[in-house]
Amino acid sequence: MSEELPAREAMEFDVVIVGGGPSGLAAAIRLKQVSPDASVVVVEKGAEVGAHILSGACVDPIAFDRLLPGWREEADAPLKTKVKDDRFYMLFGQRALRLPNALMPPLLNNHGAFIVSLGDVCKWLAAKAEALGVEIYPGFAASEVLFGDNGEVVGVATGDMGIGRDGAPKDTFTRGMELRAKYTLFAEGARGHLGKRLLAHYDLCKGREPQKFGIGIKELWQVTPDRHHPGLVQHTFGWPLDNKTGGGSFLYHYGENLVAVGFVLHLNYENPYLSPFEEFQRFKTHPLVRRTFTDGKRIGYGARAIAEGGWQSVPKVAFPGGVLIGDDAGFLNVPRIKGTHNAMLSGMLAAEHVAAALAAGRAGDELTDYETGWRSSDVGRDLWKVRNAKPLWSRFGTAIGIGLGGLDMWTNAMGFSFFGTRPHGKPDSACLKPAASCRPITYPKPDGVLTFDRLSSVYLSNTNHEEDQPVHLQLADPGLQKASEYDVYAGPSGRYCPAGVYEWVREDDGPQARMRFVINAQNCVHCKTCDIKDPNGNITWVAPEGGGGPVYPSM
């Protein structure tokens, strides 16, 4: 089709950054601090910076201290609530066992961290970047990587707007732009869709363990003042998950009577009947948790994948003309459930190498110093110490795996490990078992007060997409959905998608009954779980028209 379309206009920059999250914005700021004359542009698919940002978030301030020394004195800095009380629990049915803080590996200590809305933090960082001269284009999704004559990345193209569902241009058609650059930084977050293409194009995962993921589902609540304990951070694992299924919860009290509550479920789960959304709803009914929300009001909802593979799954992060930074590279620290600090530190590290290359008059080459340098940087040191936590949990289950992981983090703090570096094994898409060998799970009905259904939840994410556009959830082989996803795995997409995008609908009654796969693409909250968990790797998430998707209120 592109042959019939007019040529795209091109704009030239020194650096293009794809994604206005913490990694992309920290990179942009650092670039302008080091090279004030460099032209830097950030493209962000959300309607505004922060609109697609979903996090906990209890953040380690190390990167803020490095990037913006003096931020602690700024009245408008959105890092206000300091952690005062740090609790870990193991849940068993209706009981909870608090783990003594003294037993926890030192790196899991949250004292000194801040509880924030990461969306608000990104808005603040964006203002800082703009003040330094960075151009930020919200509402534009980068949909294509541009390659030069020597195979190097030379920028990205933003998606065309105004294409109908049938693929034909509408009256509102506007051609995308080419944003060309000497270096392009990919900062799309976990399972970036251009990042995924680059991994394949340059074979960047060769010799690495497969990347692992979790799905994080979060609600934001306004609670009554008597139930609000600003600075309280509470993490749990165990119930409602069984011993074989990894995951846990977070609950953070901050701001004006706000509580962020969420559940992260590892996407290597086996039972296709499991629903991460329903497990989260069930978790909130635990006596330790439910009283926080009595007489409270739920005001936000959203979901996002997190990269869990860590040290051994980080791909090669540099290639000709570009680099991966932040969660696009997989720099999240899983046992800490923290990625913001590494996202920002990796963005800053990459920016410093880009600035040095620009100063030397280079363009389009491979930033090998970033590739060789990150493992000995603070990012690498942070990930090295926790590299076995996730594989041990997956291999030995929650009860034993967490204990072994804790032991390994303690010994790593002292400089050694009994376990070497454990492999992850299979990618998450290969972990589901056929439905015939699994037990169906019956979940309680939502009460509409503490527990909710999917559609009323998605409503709170303010998700909207232009309906008349090509479906952005692409099936490589539509026939495989019925033959395998439905017939073999009993349609797990209807359960793992936190936004109710996928449905299997019975078309006729009686012996001729036919099941039809329906994709309600307009509900998609861009979490990327389908792209990760479909058992056949048959679903690919591509960027819809820029500006579409959730508009999260301070998530």
Ligand X SMILES: Cc1cc2nc3c(=O)[nH]c(=O)nc-3n(C[C@H](O)[C@H](O)[C@H](O)COP(=O)(O)OP(=O)(O)OC[C@H]3O[C@@H](n4cnc5c(N)ncnc54)[C@H](O)[C@@H]3O)c2cc1C
CA distance linking residue 4 with residue 27, whole number of Å: 37
Residue 197, H or E segment = helix 193-201
Say which residues have a Cβ less than 8 Å from residue 479's Cβ, sequence separation at least 6: none
Q: Transcribe 295-324 into DSSP letters.
A: T-EEEEEEEEEEE--GGGG----EETTEEE
Say which residues have a Cβ less than 8 Å from residue 172's Cβ, sequence separation at least 6: 161, 162
Where on the chain is the footprint of ligand SF4 (CB under 6 A)? 473, 497-499, 501, 524-530, 541
- Using rule CB under 6 A, residue 332 touches ligand X: yes
**Of 35, 524, 529, 554, which residue is the catalytic one?**
524
Min separation Cβ 404 and ligand X, Å: 24
Scanning 234-242, 324-332, 457-465, 500-508 for contacts with ligand X by CB under 6 A, the matching segment is: 324-332
**Of 23, 35, 39, 55, which residue is the catalytic one?**
55
CB closer to ligand SF4 out of 63 and 303: 303
Q: Select the binding partner of residue 383 from ligand X, ligand SF4, none (C-beta < 5 to 8 A, by kind).
A: none
Give the E-state strand segments of 339-433 in sequence order: none
Scanning 64-72, 320-328, 470-478, 497-505 for contacts with ligand X by CB under 6 A, the matching segment is: 320-328
Residue 340 falls in the annotated catalytic set: yes
CB closer to ligand SF4 out of 101 and 484: 484
Scanning 86-94, 332-340, 350-358, 399-407 for contacts with ligand X by CB under 6 A, the matching segment is: 332-340
Min separation Cβ 233 and ligand X, Å: 9
CB closer to ligand SF4 out of 168 and 430: 430
- Using rule CB under 6 A, residue 43 touches ligand X: yes
Contacts with ligand X: how many residues (CB under 6 A)?
A: 45
Burial class (CB in 10 A: 0-12, 13-18, 19+), 475: middle
Residue 304 falls in the annotated catalytic set: yes
Give yes or no for a contact between 183 and 323, defined as CB atoms under 8 angstroms apart: yes
CB closer to ligand X out of 56 and 494: 56
Using alpha carbons, list the distances in angstroms from residue 345 to 16, 49, 153, 226, 547.
18, 20, 23, 38, 27
What is the maximum alpha-carbon separation in the chain? 73
CB closer to ligand SF4 out of 238 and 262: 262
Pairing label, strands 161-163, 169-174: antiparallel
- Using rule CB under 6 A, residue 29 touches ligand X: no
Q: Select the binding partner of residue 141 from ligand SF4, ligand X, none (C-beta < 5 to 8 A, by kind).
A: ligand X
CB closer to ligand X out of 274 and 404: 274
**Which of 188, 219, 278, 366 touches ligand X (CB under 6 A)?**
188
CA distance linking residue 20 with residue 18, whole number of Å: 7
Scanning 86-94, 270-278, 331-339, 394-402 for contacts with ligand X by CB under 6 A, the matching segment is: 331-339
Q: Select the binding partner of residue 188 from ligand SF4, ligand X, none (C-beta < 5 to 8 A, by kind).
A: ligand X
Residue 497 falls in the annotated catalytic set: yes
The two three-digit tokens of residue 309, written as one number: 């593979």
CA distance linking residue 488 with residue 435, whole number of Å: 6
Give yes or no for a contact between 328 and 196, defined as CB atoms under 8 angstroms apart: no
Question: 539 — phi, psi (to 5°)?
Answer: -105, 130
CB atoms within 10 A of CB 465: 20
Residue 431 falls in the annotated catalytic set: no
Q: Select the binding partner of residue 497 from ligand X, ligand SF4, none (C-beta < 5 to 8 A, by kind).
A: ligand SF4
How far the first Cα of the chain sits from its last, in Å, is: 38
Min separation Cβ 527 and ligand X, Å: 8
Min separation Cβ 94 and ligand X, Å: 25
CA distance linking residue 382 with residue 187, whole number of Å: 20
CB closer to ligand X out of 472 and 486: 472
Partners of residue 157 on adjacent β-strands:
144, 178
Residue 291 falls in the annotated catalytic set: no
Name residues contacting ligand X, limited to 237-266 (CB under 6 A).
262, 264
The two three-digit tokens of residue 298, written as one number: 């739920």
**Which of 17, 22, 182, 311 touches ligand X (CB under 6 A)?**
22
Give yes or no for a contact between 174 and 162, defined as CB atoms under 8 angstroms apart: yes
CB closer to ligand SF4 out of 274 and 349: 274
Min separation Cβ 216 and ligand X, Å: 2
- Using rule CB under 6 A, residue 55 touches ligand X: yes
**Of 58, 122, 431, 530, which residue is the catalytic one?**
530
Residue 285 falls in the annotated catalytic set: no
Peptide bond into 240 cis (omega under 30): yes
CA distance linking residue 448 with residue 453, whole number of Å: 8
**Which of 105, 176, 189, 401 touches ligand X (CB under 6 A)?**
189
- Using rule CB under 6 A, residue 191 touches ligand X: no
**Of 58, 122, 431, 497, which residue is the catalytic one?**
497
Q: Encode 385-409: b = buried (16+ Cβ within 10 Å), e = exposed.
A: bbbbbbbbbbebebeebbebbbbbb
Residue 236 falls in the annotated catalytic set: no
Q: Which of 269, 204, 242 is nearest to 430 (CA)?
A: 269
- Positions marked catalytic: 55, 304, 340, 497, 524, 527, 530
| Chain residues in the site for ligand X (CB under 6 A) | 18-24, 43-46, 52-59, 118, 141-142, 187-189, 192-194, 216, 218, 262, 264, 304, 306, 326-328, 332, 337-341, 343, 543
